[in-house]
Amino acid sequence: MTDLRLPRWRRLRHQRDFDRVYAARHRAGDAVLLVYAAEGQLSDTRFGLSVSRKHGNAVRRSRLKRLMREAFRLQQHELPGGLDLVLIPRPGSDPSLSDLRKSLQDLANRLSSRETSSESSR
């Protein structure tokens, strides 16, 4: 049985981590999410959330963050390893948990293949 807990080390908690991911300039998006990625310092994937005020009041933003955390928690063992991700929901979308899970998986796989191709060209 797979452990589905979400330990604290799986979260990006410092501004310098977010800045490093944004500076890498690797991103992919769809109608539900925009995901920035950078090569991580760990072998496991970590994530951070960024939900702006464009998404509504604090209650709505908190709900989006809870859904994105849950999507990551459920997908964490299927995601490619060694990435740091910043998840940003698209304005105007009202995603369900299944929408977020599918979007996260697809975008993380796309970004992982870009990371590996950019490393091989160095």
Q: Name the residue ranges covered by the structural domains of the chain.
A: 9-120
Q: Which of 33, 35, 95 is nearest to 63 (CA)?
A: 95
Distance of CA 110 to the CA centre of its chain: 12
- pLDDT tens readout for residues 58-75: 999 999 999 999 999 999
Banded pLDDT at 82 (limits 50, 70, 90): confident
- The domain 9-120: what is its CATH number? 3.30.230.10
Distance of CA 35 to the CA centre of its chain: 6
Check residue 72 and give its pLDDT.
93
Check residue 114 and give its pLDDT.
73
- pLDDT tens readout for residues 48-58: 999 999 998 99
Residue 116 reports pLDDT greater than 90: no
β partners of residue 78: none
